[in-house]
Amino acid sequence: AVPRDLEGVRVLVTAGGTREPVDPVRFLGNRSSGKQGYALARLAAQRGARVVLVSGYTAGLDEPAAVDTVHVKTALDMREAVEKHAADADAIVMAAAVADFRPTVTAVSKIKKGDGEPDAIPLAKNPDILAGIVESRSAGTLDADTVIVGFAAETGDENGDVLTYARAKLARKGCDLLVVNAVGEGKAFEVDDNDGWLLGADGSECALEHGSKSLMASRVLDAVAQRVVRSRDE
Ligand code: PMT
């Protein structure tokens, strides 16, 4: 049976990928299917949480039952929706794959192929939504007890060392937990299964064994449940 250990806990989950429009028919995007984030939202609700799911584009997934789903298109939309709901969340779990860059302008009409070389597409950096949430917590705009979980999809360095880089990323991002997925051909993005590591700001590290994205979600929510309860007990 599914434990009801998140009864009444308010959880904000991001999922899917953002799309940054180039022109009316083209975009910059990524391979996120939303499956991992939707599994987290669905399971959190089954465990008793009140869940808001901020969803980018997915592989046509149905909205999870008993979850308040907000659909967004771009990274800027996602930031707005996350900022709107963050103050009401006890835990924020950011499984979305947010585009780091967007075209500085979106062409009003379809860019034509033309005869010559194509023009370059100038890019602007998107805001780091997770970093903004961590900053708001430090600044006191968000409750100090808010549990913040980041995800990292990494290909590793030339030696395939994902963990060293991920530890540095956890420190840099300032979240409480970082879920690390090794990505590569047929891994993490789009597929139904996943594995990786769960790194804690407290120095804890555990391997997340290979299995379904629901299994991965349950391991992540176990860690969230521990931290939410502990911070409330203090
Ligand atoms: O959707 P699926 O097909 O099921 O695949 C799941 C997944 C692989 C997409 C997911 O498990 C995952 O790892 N998501 C994070 C993907 C990623 O590329 O992360 P990142 O290294 O770009 O970003 C790190 C963290 O910062 C993430 O929590 C991300 O949501 C957040 N971020 C990133 C960029 C940005 N501009 N704003 C952010 O908030």
Phi/psi at 169 (5° precision): -65, -40
Q: How much distance in Å is there from the Cα of 118 to the middle of ligand 1?
A: 30
Q: Is 199 contained in some domain?
A: yes
pLDDT, tens digit (0-9, with 9 covering 90-100), for 43-96: 999 999 999 999 999 999 999 999 999 999 999 999 999 999 999 999 999 999
Tell which residue, 175, 154, 177, 158, has the closest CA to residue 166: 154
pLDDT, tens digit (0-9, with 9 covering 90-100), for 177-206: 999 998 888 899 999 999 999 999 999 999
Number of domains in the chain: 1
Q: Is the CB of 199 under 6 A from ligand 1?
A: no
Q: Among this protein's residues, is 159 annotated catalytic?
A: no
pLDDT, tens digit (0-9, with 9 covering 90-100), for 217-230: 999 999 999 999 54
CATH number at residue 22: 3.40.50.10300
pLDDT, tens digit (0-9, with 9 covering 90-100), for 134-148: 999 999 999 999 999
ipTM of this model?
Answer: 0.98
Q: Which of 30, 126, 181, 194 is catalytic?
A: 30
Separation between Cα atoms, residue 102 and residue 121, nearest integer Å: 9
Q: Is the CB of 196 under 6 A from ligand 1?
A: no
**31 lies in which domain range?**
10-108+121-233
Q: Is 128 contained in some domain?
A: yes
pLDDT at 160 over 80: no
Q: Is 84 contained in some domain?
A: yes
